[in-house]
Structure 1
């Protein structure tokens, strides 16, 4: 298949192949998948074709404002990754049982003396492990927390830790779909009908939930329940809840409460990694906010591979062979990460995301939220991780809105929103996530906003 340039049409047989190919893939959206297919991409531009309707088969030029679930920080086909593929392939395919030159080079650059992240995670105090995905990384993080209270020699709970079987999570959070992580989601939709974790002592796991970003509720919970906690798992900016940014000081106070009560703090930076104007969102004006385990992913794979990394204090580990993984920092993955991270640093793409992201939010506020108040409530975010919360009216027509945006030449994603929260806090509707690749410059961001506005206008004029 050789797709034509934007404006052209696919041959009928090629269009039928794309339709058949989509039908062969399992539908995870209950019949609500977008009827579009990508046939080519470079940088921020994707060539997409509608699979149904009057324009079926016509190639559209679409700007990527999502980065593929916010994972493709360098866009598509970035030239800095091409040599990395070759080098990584030539360095072998050893697993975690053996050392690796490429793995060594990556970990030295990150955590060794003078390493890129050594001020936050010095190699003398931290070690790292790799996984296929953010969900797998967070499964390992949870296991590290649980094993910290387990006596491996006696195969029993450590003396004095019997009461610490509770993990604190936050309402609206998203940590992954796997069996070990679903209990950390306060949404019944994802949990019902699935086998629960053991609820029998002494190995049971209890999960408590709080609304995110509410300091008084946090203080009260630790005062009442701190002695029962084993760990806290937190996204520094909640993603699926609608890009919720906590108030200043909230994350640092959370870290302080964890230290005071001897509770492990797990930072889920799978989504926030490299998007907020810093590599790590667990940072404030005072500097790095200390964590016991940090999980990064999505952008770490540069849009070329799916990967994650678990960075944990050295005293945290699992029983022998309990965390063996085929995908633990394989040479090819390490080569891609090393090349991409070096490019991000040399071009200062992380730093510029701070001021450019502020400009993006101001454009979104003026040109989208204020123009369509019946559809949008507010814009929130930090750096290149931004969200516009929808109104109830827009939420009902979300699928149609997204199609109009695509037809206007921009691809965005939508987050579920925090929904109904406890303690009398307002209901939070879904949000449009605008998290473009870090290669997006000022002109790119302007065009993205223009296309969001145009797609929204078409949605309004069509009556939905």
Structure 2
């Protein structure tokens, strides 16, 4: 695969220890000026980036396996994104679409109608700034359309950091701890998590779906439920992939009872899983879909897209925001989407999966702490446990391996409710040789930590 044009040399190069002296100076300034509530995983301060490489202020070239948490899917500073941003910024940077509208907002909504699941002519969109805003507004739309108030989310879910989305999010530390009370009328169902399902993994889909139905019926009541919010593949919770057929059962149940299905595709969307959207895998058409992250090549943009009669049920002025659908961010999105189409980044994500999986399977065969390999496309993960059939989470080994990767110039991310999952989210512009070298570094990190 030929990567997108970039001025950044696609080679790992370490000139100093990580972090280097200039990064350490900047981190000292950060500690003095930035709230300590804003954490930093790897304090190597970035100066330039492109393709699969981040260049820090000390001149180190780091391999990027995180994409800014699935944001720079088309690569950092992708040419079509840069060109669109520069052109739009020169024309105008802001008017507020609700005051003086512009074509770029409309064009993004037209692309969303074409690309998201379902017939294009039956959908409408509204644009926002962040994934959390999108989820919160999707719930507003669902409550308006149904006249109901209750919302169901799942164990291990992550939906954002606003008050309502914290209520939907499952994990307490660091996302919810000390920040309550949270929005009410939010209920939680068990997630179809095959590795940790208490019964047989082969029965996970059927049993977890029945547990979801039983909970909703007993604790909420079908006629009180406005929406079920689900990540088709969970993100922060550990890249949990429900068994085939489970999402379809949930969707059909919602349709039967007049409950709206909100698919949170903020991390899974825009080619990341090998399809435009993860729902495409099973042909599920959600009533509402939320997107952000990879939509705009690094600029802040998010959307809610859904059936016209659902989206149009909200009174005029009920959706929006000062910066929602900013023209520069919209121009970036149009450039990113064009890149995805022209370079067939869905196909590229499947190539990344084919490159990664044999290497991850080799790790599992060598280290019994690797309990699970899961994900799709360029959204993959491994879960570490105590080993030898013991599923006790192993966050200690996970953190140590992650730290070793960082020291060798590989930007890796961990996740999971128990802090014991590595997630791999490389830019789809990364050339194969960088991906292979990154996997070599992971092999070395496992050997260094586990022997």
TM-score clears 0.5: yes
Instruction: Tell me if 1:129 matches 2:126.
Output: yes
Aligned equivalents of 1:185 and 1:109: distance in 2? 29
Identify if the C-alpha distance between structure 1 residues 102 and 15 changes in structure 2 by more than 3 Å, giving closer, same or farther: closer
Aligned equivalents of 1:33 and 1:197: distance in 2? 27
Contact 2:192 2:208 in 1 (8 A): no
**3-state SS of paired residue (2:374):** strand
Residue 436 of structure 1: how far off its partner (Å): 0.6
**3-state SS of paired residue (1:28):** coil
Identify if the C-alpha distance between structure 1 residues 179 and 83 changes in structure 2 by more than 3 Å, giving closer, same or farther: same
Instruction: Determine the structure 2 residue equivalent to 1:138.
Output: 135
2:52 to 44, 50, 59: 44
Residue 126 of structure 1: how far off its partner (Å): 1.5
TM-score (norm 1): 0.81
Instruction: Tell me if 1:167 matches 2:162.
Output: no
- The aligned runs of 1:255-266 (5 Å cut-off) are 255-266=251-262
Residue 120 of structure 1: how far off its partner (Å): 2.3
Deviations 1:286-306 (A, max 9, x none): xx3111110011111212x12
Q: Which runs of 5+ in 2 are unaligned?
A: 1-11, 194-204, 387-392
Aligned equivalents of 1:180 and 1:215: distance in 2? 30
Please give the root-mean-square deviation of Cα atoms over the aligned residues, in Å: 2.7
Q: Which runs of 5+ in 1 are unaligned?
A: 50-56, 151-163, 200-204, 420-428
Which protein has the bigger helix share?
2
Aligned equivalents of 2:412 and 2:346: distance in 1? 21
Residue 400 of structure 1: how far off its partner (Å): 3.0
Identify if the C-alpha distance between structure 1 residues 326 and 69 changes in structure 2 by more than 3 Å, giving closer, same or farther: same
Identify if the C-alpha distance between structure 1 residues 149 and 47 changes in structure 2 by more than 3 Å, giving closer, same or farther: same
Instruction: Determine the structure 2 residue equivalent to 1:101.
Output: 103
Instruction: Tell me if 1:369 matches 2:364.
Output: yes
Contact 2:163 2:183 in 1 (8 A): no
Aligned equivalents of 1:266 and 1:323: distance in 2? 17
Instruction: Determine the structure 2 residue equivalent to 1:73.
Output: 73
Contact 1:269 1:280 in 2 (8 A): yes
Residue 350 of structure 1: how far off its partner (Å): 1.4
2:303 to 295, 306, 309: 309
**3-state SS of paired residue (2:139):** helix
Aligned equivalents of 1:104 and 1:252: distance in 2? 31
- The aligned runs of 1:343-382 (5 Å cut-off) are 343-366=339-362, 368-374=363-369, 376-382=370-376
Which structure has the larger Rg? 1
Aligned equivalents of 1:415 and 1:187: distance in 2? 11
**3-state SS of paired residue (1:242):** coil
Identify if the C-alpha distance between structure 1 residues 196 and 362 changes in structure 2 by more than 3 Å, giving closer, same or farther: same
TM-score (norm 2): 0.83
Instruction: Determine the structure 1 residue equivalent to 2:432.
Output: 442
1:218 to 194, 209, 221: 209
Aligned equivalents of 2:128 and 2:29: distance in 1? 29
- How many correspondences in the alignment? 410
Deviates more, 1:255-264 or 1:212-221: 212-221
**3-state SS of paired residue (1:176):** coil
Aligned equivalents of 1:345 and 1:191: distance in 2? 38
